[in-house]
Amino acid sequence: MNAPSSLDLFEGAIARLDKAFQFADIDAEALERLKHPKQILQVSVPVRMDDGSLRIFTGYRVRHDDTRGPTKGGLRYAPSVDISEVKALAFWMTFKCAVMNLPYGGAKGGICVNAKELSRLELERLSRGFIEQVADFIGPETDIPAPDMYTNAMIMGWMMDAYSKIRRQRTPAVITGKPIPLGGSQGREDATGRGAYHCMHEVAKRRDLVIRKTRVAIQGFGNAGQHIAQLLHADGYKIVGVSDSRGGIYKEDGFDIPSLIQIKNESNRLQAVYCTGSVCEAIEAEAITNEELLELDVDVLIPAALENQITIDNADRIKASVILEVANGPTTNEADEILNKKGKLIVPDILANAGGVTVSYFEWVQNQQGFYWSLEEVQKRLGEMMKREFNHIYECMIEMNIDMRTAAYAVALSRIGEAIASLGTAHYFSENDS
């Protein structure tokens, strides 16, 4: 899997606004505001390593827009983290929250680090040190971080604990994605994959798909990729291709997904197996690259890995008729144009992977109330919201005769525009009071 170039990632993200502007009810002044992040923070985090040496790590936090509420967004640990990437991710979070009609704006953060090279103690020092640097920038009513690439519930727990110690009071609502004993929500672990699954469920109804004949390929077999694979497999979809950062595998007849997940999580290797109880048997499968997986002859392609995977270089060879974007920004603007001309349905990332932030919102609400919901309640509410917003955007797509991504941005722009206009724009202030 090629790491994305984030040199123009933010510029590419905001370029999509101009296309959606003509279909949205938003003042041009409000649109211009959304092209500029509200606040950007860069910090240096000193960490005493296990060998006694000192290393300095660079961290970022970007608050893109808070017109509709406190900002919300994940924190990632990755060597590729830079300010352009974080700005783009914060921008997408603003629109993701608006698409789901959550009372949030968008934010994102990250630390430039290869987390796999750190010990658990070093990771804890880094996580707590980062919170010490950004404590005045975040808060339950200001900016609420969550897990993202190479961060998890344990790390979120450390961060919540560090913030609480700084504030001298337990403050669970400052961070979401925490362990359940520390105020986390039921259903958070599979929320992104489950939200995408609900979108796929609606696609199947809208497109009259015969589920047991529908072939699926999934690029990225981490948390989200595994969960949507499991849910689709249980429904009878044929998952014929999967991949991780090391490469992929293909099997014409489809894989036994529970067995793949078991071996992947036990050995960190993606290999074709079939498991009965505790006995796993290797089965034949064709080794393929991540690039080849994207071009498989399938009905549904699910990019669930990195940004910029479908580009002008390979878009014309994409055979899937439905592309469900579980990753953030997997399709470039140029590729979008090619795929749309070919009649592909792209369920955009700001809708397809919004299950995670939706259940994070549920967690924040529960923390604020001090009252916690059952797993069934969380999953029921998530399903209702994903289906409602999917169908609203799909209907807008049909009504305005535009692609689904543009429809999603138009819906989000209209909602954000209403909030900005409520505070007054040039049109309001230039009116004659008489």
Q: What is the pLDDT of residues 192-251, one digit of tens each?
A: 999 999 999 999 999 999 999 999 999 999 889 999 999 999 999 999 999 988 888 999
pLDDT of residue 25: 77
Mean of pLDDT values over 39-47: 98
The helix (H) or strand (E) run that includes residue 3 is none
> Where does the pLDDT of residue 277 fall: very low under 50, low under 70, confident under 90, or very high at 90 and above?
low
Domain with CATH 3.40.50.10860 in the chain: 37-182
Do the Cβ atoms of 309 and 327 come closer than 8 Å? yes
Architecture of domain 1-6+13-32+189-368+385-434 in this structure: 3-Layer(aba) Sandwich (3.40)
DSSP state of 181: G
Do the Cβ atoms of 390 and 404 come closer than 8 Å? no
Domain with CATH 3.40.50.720 in the chain: 1-6+13-32+189-368+385-434
Mean of pLDDT values over 300-320: 94
In terms of Cβ atoms closer than 10 Å to its own Cβ (0-12, 13-18, 19+), residue 392 is: middle
C-alpha angle 240-245-248 in degrees, rounded to nearest 5: 25
Instruction: Please tell me the distance from the alpha carbon of residue 35 to that of residue 25, in angstroms, as a whole number.
Output: 17
Active-site option among 72, 96, 108, 238: 108
Q: What is the pLDDT of residues 108-164, one digit of tens each?
A: 999 999 999 999 999 999 999 999 999 999 999 999 999 998 999 999 999 999 999
108 catalytic, yes or no? Answer: yes
Q: What is the pLDDT of residues 19-38, one digit of tens each?
A: 888 887 778 888 888 899 99
Residues 6+ apart with CB under 8 A from 277: none
Among 289, 304, 146, 297, residue whose Cα is nearest residue 227:
304
Among 44, 133, 130, 40, residue whose Cα is nearest residue 87:
40
Q: For 53, phi and psi rounded to 5 degrees? A: -75, 165
Fold of 37-182: Rossmann fold (3.40.50)
